[in-house]
Structure 1
Amino acid sequence: MSLHAAPLAGKVAIVTGSGRGLGFAYAAELARRGASVVINDVDAATADAAVAAIVADGGTAVAVIAPVGPTETAQQLVAAAVESFGRLDILVTNAGVLRDTVLWKMSDDDFDTVINVHLRGTFTCTREAVTYMRDNGIRGRIIAIGSPTGQRGNFGQTNYAAAKAGIVGMVRTWALELKRAGITANAVIPVAATAMTATVPYFAAAVEADAKGEAMPAFFRHDLGFGTSDDVAGLIAYLASDAAADVTGQAIGVGGDRLQLWSHPEPVVTAYRDGGWTYDALQESFGGELGGALETVGEQFPPLPADLQRPPA
């Protein structure tokens, strides 16, 4: 812990989806740094255990048991922060669900459920939070959780990719709209051992090490930027602090030993043609300069070192 051990003293945070996993790591770190925290989960026992763990560590927390997405939940969360702790300074929108399947098998419910929790939930909670912050002159912090899938796409995750890409788009817009009020809005792109990555054979050696309480191999932490939930939590606390008052509208990746500032989408090639672009001109260009500059899709992982490979299950 640094000399500035409690930079969030007197501040109040809401962390959605914080009963376990990454969300709990964020909430626990905010509490360690001095913030009072509203825990949120759909399961009462999970939320109560999270609150108990934070209190046992010397922090302050209360729980709201409700599904993220509806406006009523957003209102309940903000009300709990104000009624329990007197104010609201920080919102971390972490709640999420997965309904993975390929496009042609994805049902309306698969799509709508993921969009409702991730994208609509981020919108409704942020709208409620910033309304309170603006009305009360609080120079607050909005931290929305994105994903590499939203930046690059991932097989079987149409719904999740759409939601996470949309979150980053909203954050960029909010940074513009909230600047005058002194409220920052940023997206964090975490890469960490979770229930989802535990099912991916490529990460098996890292997940096994984490489960045993051992350090992950350097290949994962350094080369891939893949680490633990706690490796992400420090960035959450920093962005929530007064020290980050000038950081807004950013998509910031973090995992293991790696930190990344993601660029806003920019053209990789710009070409001009007098008279415009005909079919024949496009065919010629995509067979040449433009074709050689096409972007990749999906995450591009290097081969695993031999000592980290695991035999097929």
Structure 2
Amino acid sequence: MDLSGKVAIITGSGRGLGLAYGKELARNGAAVVINDIDRASADGAVAEIVAAGGRAVAVVTPVGTSEAAGELVATAVETFGRLDVLVTNAGILRDKVVWKMTDEDFDAVIDVHLRGTFTCVREAVLRFREQGGGGRIICIGSPAGQRGNFGQTNYSAAKAGIVGMVRTWAMELQRAGITVNAVCPVAATAMTETIPFLAPHIESMKRGEPLPAIIRRDVGMGTPEDAAGVIAFLASDAAADITGQALSIGGDRLALWSHPQLTATDFHDGGWSAEDIAACWGQTFAGSIESVGEEFPEEVMPK
């Protein structure tokens, strides 16, 4: 995955998954713009990449506004001369059940995840089109956006919206040679420590103990570094023909999410009344109802 001469922006990359992405892109030759809201984290990430022989610069700003997106792209161009890859990773959590979630809880998550992705992608696309030669956009989604998750109305909505935007952008940008894909990682980070059945395994990892195979394979969760290879792959020439897709990665598992498809269809001349629907529902549609939430092996669930 030779990324020599490429320049990448990774939002939310001072620690966790974002830092793992930045280090992997730099290891493969890309110059990287590290972004975080915490100066110490951003500077520490840059120092780590530079110490390993890479090139990096920090931009300390919260994503969401057009001004922040403009600063990120301008820094990439002014420091390294161009922009080739954007990874939109920045995110926050404000988990609550819907009847306790405030407007502020909802807006904060939507602003960082959904609006932050939109504004950064828009700014990067303007640069890509000005440069010519295409580009790579990698938006970070989540299984919560694909399946839903208890207590995460705001986060699930934002992540589902990101994948929806990815599909649209893939169509809009194809002629310009710009690929757009989503990655839905599962890794041991501060954000997954809030999931009760994963917390003990994350604590074990902190003590240097390996994750059991059932977690790495069946749950598909591992370290942030386990999720970084797919970012370098999608940024590379090897992925030039891949666009509009949602990939899942974690631990030992790599998977491809399907797009929503019609699962059952029937027709009724003259349209459907409520009575018509009730009469056919059991035979035609009931067997095709899909579950919600992620389904995990019983062995890892709390007793």
TM-score exceeds 0.5: yes
Matched, 1:259 2:235: no
**How many aligned positions are there?**
303
Q: Which runs of 5+ in 1 are unaligned?
A: none
Question: What is the percentage of aligned positions where both structures have the same residue?
Answer: 65
Aligned with 1:48 (options 35, 40, 43): 43
Structure 1 residue identity aligned to 2:97: V
1-side partners of 2:208 and 2:19: how far apart?
18
Q: Deviations over 1:198-242 (max 9, x none)?
A: 232312443133212332100011111111111110000000011
TM-superposed deviation, 1:300: 1.3
**Do 2:218 and 2:296's aligned partners in 1 also have CA atoms closer than 8 Å?**
no
Matched, 1:278 2:273: yes
1-side partners of 2:196 and 2:161: how far apart?
29
1-side partners of 2:272 and 2:206: how far apart?
56
Q: What RMSD in Å do the two structures reach over aligned CA positions?
A: 1.4
Matched, 1:149 2:144: yes
TM-superposed deviation, 1:310: 7.4
Matched, 1:36 2:28: no
TM-superposed deviation, 1:17: 0.2
Q: Which runs of 5+ in 2 are unaligned?
A: none
Structure 2 residue identity aligned to 1:107: T
1-side partners of 2:54 and 2:114: how far apart?
30
1-side partners of 2:39 and 2:192: how far apart?
25
Aligned with 1:199 (options 179, 182, 194): 194
Aligned with 1:135 (options 124, 130, 152): 130
TM-score normalised per structure 2: 0.97
TM-superposed deviation, 1:295: 0.9
1-side partners of 2:267 and 2:49: how far apart?
59
**Do 1:202 and 1:304's aligned partners in 2 also have CA atoms closer than 8 Å?**
no
**Residues 36 and 232 of structure 1: is their aligned pair in 2 closer, same or farther, counting only changes over 3 Å?**
same
Structure 1 residue identity aligned to 2:114: L
Q: Deviations over 1:14-46 (max 9, x none)?
A: 000000000000001000010000000001011
2-side partners of 1:301 and 1:281: how far apart?
37
Q: Secondary structure at the match of 1:290?
A: helix
Report the more deviating stretch, 289-298 or 75-84.
289-298
2-side partners of 1:136 and 1:55: how far apart?
27
TM-score normalised per structure 1: 0.94
Q: Secondary structure at the match of 2:291?
A: coil
Which residue of 2 is the match for residue 188 of structure 1? 183
**Do 2:85 and 2:135's aligned partners in 1 also have CA atoms closer than 8 Å?**
yes
Alignment of 1:113-262 (within 5 A): 113-262=108-257
Structure 2 residue identity aligned to 1:257: D
2-side partners of 1:44 and 1:70: how far apart?
19
2-side partners of 1:25 and 1:212: how far apart?
20
**Do 1:204 and 1:310's aligned partners in 2 also have CA atoms closer than 8 Å?**
no
**Do 1:147 and 1:164's aligned partners in 2 also have CA atoms closer than 8 Å?**
yes
TM-superposed deviation, 1:141: 0.2
**Do 2:145 and 2:160's aligned partners in 1 also have CA atoms closer than 8 Å?**
yes
Matched, 1:62 2:61: no
Q: Secondary structure at the match of 2:175?
A: coil
Q: Deviations over 1:38-69 (max 9, x none)?
A: 00000101100110111111111000000000
Matched, 1:299 2:294: yes
**Do 1:115 and 1:160's aligned partners in 2 also have CA atoms closer than 8 Å?**
yes
